């Protein structure tokens, strides 16, 4: 250290405290980086790498970015999973001799960044903290720093279950204490989530944030608050008490199911288009859009709360004019939650306070409209709205109508708010006019027509009188300032007073205005909780209005709930698919699960609509339990506690898992966690392995769900042999998606009908895909050959069920029953049919038949 210059020594001392972050070290108008930070940042940010003499033998690598445009560079680093420590000059360089004092004022991390182009105002940006309570039991706390909204929940399961919930909430950063870091790091390192550590020691009394949560969950909350205090280094008054999310109070949807159902993110391109959120997002405010996304993440599982929301939507749906008035008013309300967050953290600008004021101007109208509604439930809703009259009064008196974005260049405070500021402004704006008036008055008083008032940088303002006219002036009023060859320059007490006022008016005015603005902003902090409560009510109202609007537009109906597990959807539709196509062409379908027959085995060709049918049932359940009307003619639904899906095929390349392994892991997770009140959607389980293995696994799963869980289930398959299970499993019903042949080609009817499909139409689908005719013809011939081979019989053997809880190896009864055919099948697999003559092929087939008959 002693070999470096004092400035570099200061840099290294600060950097030692923030080794895991890029240190943006303020030097004049730039943030500079040195040593390894410079080497790495110059590559990531694509900026020029230079060097400087720091007192050592070798020059020090250096790069920098202008402080006024640093936000974009910071955002780039954070998006790539890095942290950035902002080190500012905390002393005025003009008032200090030697090295200016510097210290880190904030650390920006993937979970705490709240501003920038990459931040979607319509989504919550959560940072979380986890704590292990016992084996297979964790607490998970998370909050949105921009809005102050925080939740905590109990997670039952292993590390994968915890990570699934973290991913479902879209967290970019998770904070843990050292004991959990090692075990969690192994699972999280290959995912786009930053794992940070904190010791959980809070700087201030934060007990009020944990009042309504179980005591065993507070450690995760304390870890999170401690980390935020350490990184943000600012007041966090806007943080709301953590809300305890009980598992029994919500419909749980794991990350895989959210992805498979495309609830908030499209599988195809990762955007919101084509998702349930996209369909329902007719909200007028950003806070409303966030509330909608939050409801989709965590639908309700309380019948009374669900029906209360549905009642409000029904009332809004029936009163178009009321709904239109509310929507119009809400469009003029800004993001009160984020405005409150900026105020609390000291980042609010004059424009932010103006937006708060303009929003509050609309609240009395909203309250009045609801108070005069026809329905009692909407009138009661009006009572929850606080118009924040005191807040509006302060802002109306103090904040200019159109303030600038900058807080240090004036123009934020209204005229008339502060007398001294008005004087400064008057002097600054009207200084020249006052000087001209003073010049006229002095000429009239003295009779000297060439008397003038001038200015120079050295002497300031002065009254200049030619020597030939000095005898006309009353010199007792003047104080000599400067003598020239043919004139004298004077100053009066009045001019001296005005000179100081005029010369310093603009600078003093800006300084005073900034002080006044800060005082107003500090006063706003005392009202943050009221603004947040108002924002919560308005965001809920915004979503309910959106539900009513969308329900009317797309002909949705109000669902009915009961206490059983029967699920009856008449002429249900997939709302997103229907929106993206001609609505008149969409084929609706019934889904009938009764108390005694609540498992559907769905067969039918590829592209016929099996997956769409399964997804639309799940979306109907989710829409109903967030309080929205649903896409069908009628719906009688149970309260579903969890939805699990295994739809589609996708390798997890990041963790090196194959499609089949992912299929098995997702299936195991579903079977291990499902209850009688759950909904399971399994699409073509077992297709990633051999036919007999896949068929065995599929049958074993259905048997286990039937005997041990009893959940509602939709199970699609191409294994037609499984359709015989309806004779063995009394709660299993066969249905199929209809198709027909027309002139040798398949026509998909997209209609779900009773009974099993008679064929798969796989070759017909290949024909539709455009495979060459030679391949199609050859496939048809081979199909005839293979269909002539006796198919194995699927048997139901409760004693040989596969355990998905410990994944013990079991001998499949199906595999046992088909050992005698394996040798023939191996020959079929190995046969080079493309290079055989027709006679040779026929001879081989005859040989196979002989062997099978002998066996």
Give the span between the Cα atoms of 669 and 661, in whole angstroms: 12
Using only C-alpha atoms, the chain has a radius of gyration, in whole angstroms, of: 37
User: 3-class secondary structure for 522-578?
Assistant: HHHHCCHHHHHHHHHHHHHHHHHHHHHHHHHHCCCECCEEECCCCEEEEEECCHHHH
Give the span between the Cα atoms of 485 and 439, in whole angstroms: 22
What single string gives the DSSP state of each residue in 265-334?
Answer: S-TTTSSSTTSHHHHH---SSHHHHHHHHHHHHS-B--HHHHHHHHHHHHHHHH-HHHHHHHHHHHTT--
CB 623 within 8 A of CB 572: no
End-to-end CA distance of the chain: 87
Residue 447 CA: distances (Å) to CA of 20, 475, 486: 77, 14, 19
Give the span between the Cα atoms of 469 and 482, in whole angstroms: 16
b/e 737-750 (16+ beta carbons within 10 angstroms → b): bbbeeeeeebebeb
- Judge whether 610 is annotated as a binding position: yes
- Judge whether 627 is annotated as a binding position: no
Long-range contacts: 315-322, Cβ < 8 Å, 24+? 315/373, 315/374, 315/375, 315/377, 315/378, 316/378, 316/544, 316/545, 316/547, 316/548, 317/548, 317/551, 317/552, 317/629, 318/375, 319/373, 319/374, 319/375, 322/369, 322/370, 322/373, 322/374, 322/378
CB 280 within 8 A of CB 293: no
- Judge whether 327 is annotated as a binding position: no
- Judge whether 611 is annotated as a binding position: yes
| Residue listed under structure tokens 């904040």 | 399
- Judge whether 315 is annotated as a binding position: no
Paired residues of 88 in beta bridges: 103
Please give the helix or strand (H or E) that residue 611 lies within, else none: helix 610-625
- Judge whether 608 is annotated as a binding position: yes
Give the span between the Cα atoms of 76 and 41, in whole angstroms: 10
DSSP helix/strand/coil, 63: strand
CB 230 within 8 A of CB 198: yes
Phi, psi at 812, each rounded to 5°: -70, 130
Binding residues: 604-611
Binding residues for ATP: 604-611
């Amino acid at each position: 250290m002693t070999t470096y210059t004092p400035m570099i020594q200061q840099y290294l001392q600060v950097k030692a405290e923030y080794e895991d972050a890029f240190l943006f070290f303020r030097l004049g108008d730039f943030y500079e980086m040195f040593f390894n930070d410079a080497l790495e940042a110059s590559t990531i940010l694509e900026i020029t790498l230079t060097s400087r003499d720091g007192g050592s033998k070798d020059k020090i690598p250096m790069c920098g970015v202008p402080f006024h445009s640093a936000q974009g560079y910071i955002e780039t680093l954070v998006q790539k999973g890095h942290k950035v420590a902002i080190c500012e000059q905390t002393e005025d360089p003009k008032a200090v001799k030697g090295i200016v004092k510097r210290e880190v004022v904030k650390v920006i991390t993937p979970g705490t960044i709240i501003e920038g182009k990459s931040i979607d105002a319509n989504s919550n940006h959560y940072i979380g903290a986890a704590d292990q309570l016992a084996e297979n039991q964790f607490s998970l706390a998370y909050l949105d720093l921009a809005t102050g909204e925080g939740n905590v929940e109990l997670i039952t399961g292993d590390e994968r279950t915890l990570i699934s919930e973290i991913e479902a909430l879209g967290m970019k950063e998770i904070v843990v204490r050292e004991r959990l870091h090692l075990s969690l790091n192994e699972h999280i390192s290959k995912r786009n989530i930053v794992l940070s550590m904190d010791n959980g020691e809070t700087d201030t009394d934060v007990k009020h944030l944990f009042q309504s949560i179980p005591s065993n969950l507070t450690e995760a909350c304390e870890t999170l608050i401690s980390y935020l205090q350490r990184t943000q280094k600012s007041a966090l008054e806007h943080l709301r008490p953590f809300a305890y999310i009980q598992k029994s109070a919500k419909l749980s949807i794991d990350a895989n199911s959210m992805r498979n159902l495309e609830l908030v993110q499209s599988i195809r391109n990762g955007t919101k288009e084509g998702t349930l959120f996209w369909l329902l997002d007719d909200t007028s405010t950003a806070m409303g859009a966030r509330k909608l996304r939050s409801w989709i993440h965590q639908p309700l599982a309380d019948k009374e709360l669900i029906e209360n929301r549905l009642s409000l939507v029904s009332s809004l749906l029936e009163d178009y004019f009321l709904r239109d008035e509310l929507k119009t008013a809400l469009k003029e309300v800004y993001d009160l939650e984020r405005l409150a967050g900026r105020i609390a953290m000291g980042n609010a600008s004059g424009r932010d306070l103006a937006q708060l004021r303009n929003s509050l101007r609309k609240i009395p109208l909203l309250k009045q409209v609801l108070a005069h509604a026809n329905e009692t439930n909407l009138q009661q809703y009006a009572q929850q709205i606080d118009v924040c009259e005191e807040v509006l009064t302060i802002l109306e008196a103090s904040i200019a109508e159109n303030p600038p974005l900058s807080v240090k260049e004036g123009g934020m405070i209204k005229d008339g708010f502060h007398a001294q500021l008005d004087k400064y402004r008057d002097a600054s704006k009207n200084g020249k006019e006052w000087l001209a008036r003073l010049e006229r008055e002095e000429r009239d008083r003295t009779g000297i027509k060439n008397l003038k008032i001038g200015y120079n940088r050295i002497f300031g303002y002065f009254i200049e009188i030619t020597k030939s006219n000095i005898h006309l002036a009353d010199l007792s009023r003047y104080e000599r300032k400067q003598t020239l060859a043919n004139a004298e320059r004077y100053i009066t007490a009045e001019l001296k007073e005005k000179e100081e006022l005029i010369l310093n008016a603009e600078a003093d005015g800006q300084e005073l205005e900034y002080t006044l603005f800060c005082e107003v902003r500090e006063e706003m902090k005392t009202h943050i909780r009221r603004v947040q409560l108002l924002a919560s009510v308005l965001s809920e109202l915004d979503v309910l209005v959106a539900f009513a609007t969308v329900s009317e537009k797309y002909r949705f109906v109000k669902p009915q709930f009961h206490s059983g597990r029967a699920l009856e959807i008449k002429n249900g539709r997939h709302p997103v698919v229907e929106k993206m196509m001609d609505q008149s062409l969409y084929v609706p379908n019934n889904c009938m699960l009764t108390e005694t027959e609540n498992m559907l085995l769905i067969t039918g060709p590829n592209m016929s609509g099996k997956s769409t049918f399964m997804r639309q049932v799940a979306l109907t359940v989710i829409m109903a339990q967030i309080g929205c009307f649903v896409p069908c003619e009628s719906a009688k639904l149970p309260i579903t506690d969890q939805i699990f899906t295994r739809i589609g095929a996708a390798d997890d390349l990041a963790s090196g898992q194959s499609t089949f392994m992912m299929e098995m892991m997702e299936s195991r997770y579903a079977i291990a966690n499902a209850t009688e009140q759950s909904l399971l959607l399994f699409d073509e389980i077992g297709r990633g392995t051999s036919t007999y293995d896949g068929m065995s696994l599929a049958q074993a799963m259905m048997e286990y769900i039937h005997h041990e869980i009893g959940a509602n289930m939709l199970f699609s398959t191409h294994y037609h042999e499984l359709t015989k299970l309806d004779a063995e499993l009394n709660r299993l019903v066969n249905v199929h998606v209809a198709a027909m042949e027309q002139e040798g080609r398949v026509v998909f009817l997209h209609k779900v009908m009773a009974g099993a499909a008679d064929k798969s139409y796989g070759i017909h689908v290949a024909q539709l895909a455009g495979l060459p005719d030679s391949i199609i013809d050859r496939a048809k011939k081979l199909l005839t050959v293979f269909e002539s081979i006796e198919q194995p019989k699927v048997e139901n053997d409760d004693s040989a069920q596969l355990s998905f809880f410990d994944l013990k190896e079991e001998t499949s009864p199906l595999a046992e029953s088909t050992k005698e055919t394996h040798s023939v099948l191996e020959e079929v697999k190995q046969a080079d049919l493309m290079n055989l003559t027709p006679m040779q092929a026929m001879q081989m087939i005859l040989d196979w038949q002989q062997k099978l008959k002998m066996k």
